[in-house]
Structure 1
Amino acid sequence: MELTVLGSGSAMPVPNRAQAGYLLTDDDRTLLVDCGEGVLHRLADTDPGYEGVSTVLLTHHHLDHVAALFPLLKARWLAGADHLKVVGPTGTKALVDGLLDVHEYLDGRIDLAVREVSPARSFVTAGFDVAARETRHSMEGLAYRFSPPSTDTPAEAGPLVISGDTEAFAGMASFADGSAVTVHDCSFPDGTDVSNHPNPTELGEAFADADIDRLLLSHLYPHTGGREREMARSVREAGFAGEVEVARDGLVVEL
């Protein structure tokens, strides 16, 4: 299984970071997690391209995570693709239906399927086994844990976790415990007055007892520019014992 960071940025654009988007691949299986502004341009530069991505899994419905969802639908239609599946938390169908009301000409262009999921049970999408956990954010959302297909590893013990937007808290650390890589919201450096997102010290404290090999800090606001090393150091100094890295667009991680 391979993770490509397509967008490590946030709702406030910076030149080198697209909004939220992550590509999972395993052989010929592909899954796009979130689809913010700029993600399609990054996706077009990968081997699958947007033509090869037929399933999008949404963590939540804030604009910087869904802005390119219908541009993806249109791009796939124009490229001759015949279907797209959108998976996400409660409200995903209402989101898609509302976008179709605005962009009526796209209705029926391709076979569009919508599935809503919850933490109540694990599920399979695009061939990946997935477990979900509720986040703590300003709107309902889900973090996801992924296990590659064709293995005996249950989703709840999969090697990859993507948090979506969330505060750092003990329940999320428990959800990610034992993972090889966890991509976690760390939107602002220490000293920034913010809620619904963690700073590095909060993240390090919450994950101090979590056994995670590699923690990738993502969803980075412009405030983090030039402070990346400081942020990684703060996570470690707050108690997290694993490797800490600040995500960047184009980063590829083998799992």
Structure 2
Amino acid sequence: MELTILGSGSAMPVPDRAQAGYLLDDGGRSLLVDCGSGVLQRLAGTETGYEGVSTVLLTHHHLDHVAALLPLLKARWLAGAEHLEVVGPAGTKSLVDGLLDVHEYLDGRVDLAVREVSASRPFSAAGFEVAARETRHSMKGLAYRFSPPSAPVDPADGPLTLSGDTEAFAGMASFADGSDVLVHDCSFPDGTDVSNHPNPTQLGESLAGVDVDALLLSHLYPHTGGREREMARSVRDAGFGGSVEIANDGLRVEI
């Protein structure tokens, strides 16, 4: 399974970071997780392309995670694709219906399926087996843990976890325990007065003693610019024992 960081940024744009978006590829199957502004351009630069993504999985409905959802639908229609599935937490159908109310001419252009999921049971998306858990954020959302189609295991034991937007807390750490790779919200450096997102020390403390091989810090606000090494060091100093990297757009990780 390969993870490509399409967008490692936030609701405050910077030139080198698109908003939230992650591409999973395995054995010819592709899944897009979140679809913020700029993600469609990043996706067009991959071998998969928007033509190869027929399923989008949303962590939550904040604008920086869904802004390119209808542009993706339109691009697939214009490219001759016939289908798009949108999967996400409760409220996803209302979100898509509302977007189509504004852009009525896109309604019916492709075979559009919308499916709502919850943390109560695992599910499949584009062939990937997925477990979910609720996050702690200003809007209800879900974190996801993935098992690839080529080597299915219990998704609760899958090798990749994506936190979505969330505070750092013990339940999230437990959900990610045993992952090869954890991509976690770390929006601001230490010393920033903010809620609903963790700083590096909070994240490191929550992950102390957790078995995660590699941690990627993502959803980075402009405040983090030039402080990335300091942030990675703070996570380690706070108790996390695995490797720590800063997610950057275009980064590809084999899992």
What is the CA deviation profile of residues 19-74 of structure 1, one whole-angstrom value per residue up to 9, with x for unaligned ones? 00000000210000000000000000000100000000000000000000000000
Amino acid across the alignment from 1:184: H
The correspondence of residues 51-130 of structure 1 with structure 2, limited to 5 A, is 51-130=51-130
Match for residue 5 of structure 2? 5
- Deviation at residue 107 of structure 1 after TM alignment: 0.4
Aligned residue for 1:97, secondary structure, equals helix
Match for residue 49 of structure 2? 49
Aligned residue for 1:182, secondary structure, equals strand
Amino acid across the alignment from 2:237: E
* CA distance in 2 between partners of 1:65 and 1:196 (Å): 15
Q: Percent identity?
A: 81
Aligned residue for 2:182, secondary structure, equals strand
* CA distance in 1 between partners of 2:153 and 2:56 (Å): 22
User: Does 2:30 align with 1:34?
Assistant: no
Confirm or deny: 8 A CA contact 2:37 2:66 kept in the other structure: yes
**Unaligned runs of at least 5 residues, structure 2:** none
In the superposition, the TM-score normalised over structure 2's length comes to 0.99
* CA distance in 2 between partners of 1:82 and 1:149 (Å): 23
The correspondence of residues 1-255 of structure 1 with structure 2, limited to 5 A, is 1-255=1-255
- Deviation at residue 152 of structure 1 after TM alignment: 4.3
* CA distance in 2 between partners of 1:150 and 1:23 (Å): 16
Supply the RMSD in Å over aligned alpha carbons: 0.5
Amino acid across the alignment from 2:158: G
**Unaligned runs of at least 5 residues, structure 1:** none
Aligned residue for 1:187, secondary structure, equals coil
Count the aligned residue pairs: 255
Aligned residue for 1:71, secondary structure, equals helix
* CA distance in 1 between partners of 2:76 and 2:107 (Å): 13
Amino acid across the alignment from 1:216: L
Runs (4 or more) in structure 1 with deviation over 6 Å come to none
What is the CA deviation profile of residues 217-248 of structure 1, one whole-angstrom value per residue up to 9, with x for unaligned ones? 00000000000000000000000000000100
| Mean CA deviation greater in 45-54 or 151-160 | 151-160
Amino acid across the alignment from 1:193: D
In the superposition, the TM-score normalised over structure 1's length comes to 0.99
What is the CA deviation profile of residues 117-141 of structure 1, one whole-angstrom value per residue up to 9, with x for unaligned ones? 0010000110000000000000010
